[in-house]
Amino acid sequence: MAFRTEASGGRTAPREAGAASLRGKVPAEALDLFPDRWERLGDVVVLRIPAPLAPWSALVGEALARVLGCRAALENTRGVVGEFREMAAPVLWHDGSRADPAVTVHREHGILYALDASRIMFSSGNVEERARMGRLDCRGETVVDLFAGIGYFAIPIAKRTGATRVVAVEKNPVAHRFLLENARLNRVGAVLEPVLGDNRETPLPTAQRVLLGYVGRTAEFLPRAFEVADPAGATLHYHDTFGVDAWREEAEGRVRTAAEAAGFRVEAADTHAVKSYAPAVVHAVVDARVRHAP
């Protein structure tokens, strides 16, 4: 989850307004550390609390939420971890209006994403990549998303690209539940087929487009992508993290190596950075057009 500072729109900046509301309740030296970065998802805000502010974390969460017009504040305590890409973001404060205060609906480029922000990741740094997926021309294609999550890429593809069929595989049952909900919210049930399961074990159709929207160990799943890819021609969207010095060469090299091992050839490859992932690490995506080698 990428934290960001939101513009104040000419008003007092949220950080200053939130800190000002706590004067007299929190020591001044601690208030100097009031957060200046956060993630707003629908009507909840997710933030990190510096250690010196921890004794007043509920007050800080409430102050920022009220300034931003949010109904709940959550604390990101560890980031995204594990194979299920799970969050640990307990609720600091909520206004009592909902039984599940961490559940929200986030709107982005006209797409609705329901999620439990205390358990499900949502990276603002991938915003342009999600929009780009909705601009693809997938007319007549069967698309397989091997790491669907809550539908980050599968929903915009199903809604906007003309794809005939989008098979969205997700292993995390919590994420899968919201994938089902997002298919309903965005009215793509006629195109999107949510599948709960491990993409390595789930029977999948031959696809003209395969999405690998996972980072960290994605190269391990390239052989599976080539098993699914249409031998007559398919496009792979392979996401992963790479060293900043030679990320294009490293990214395309992984795809070409996996293609050769699967009996495919890469006819064209376009690689671009999605975002900075860590110091000296780039999150990049390779769009590779592949075909079975004669």
Q: 175-191: string of b/e by CB count within 10 Å (b at 16+)?
A: bbbbbbbbbebbebeeb
What distance in Å separates the CA atoms of residue 270 and residue 41, rounded to the nearest whole number?
31
As beta bridge partners, residue 229 has 207
pLDDT, tens digit, for every residue of 136-182? 999 999 999 999 999 999 999 999 999 999 999 999 999 999 999 99
Contact 116, 102 (CB under 8 A): yes
- Is this prediction's pTM over 0.75? yes
Contact 44, 89 (CB under 8 A): no
pLDDT, tens digit, for every residue of 7-36? 434 456 999 999 999 999 999 999 999 999
What distance in Å separates the CA atoms of residue 272 and residue 22, rounded to the nearest whole number?
44
**Residues in the chain, total:** 294
What distance in Å separates the CA atoms of residue 263 and residue 260, rounded to the nearest whole number?
5
CA 47 to chain centre: 17
Cβ neighbours, 10 Å, residue 266: 19
Domains of the chain, CATH where assigned: 14-106 (3.30.300.110), 125-292 (3.40.50.150)
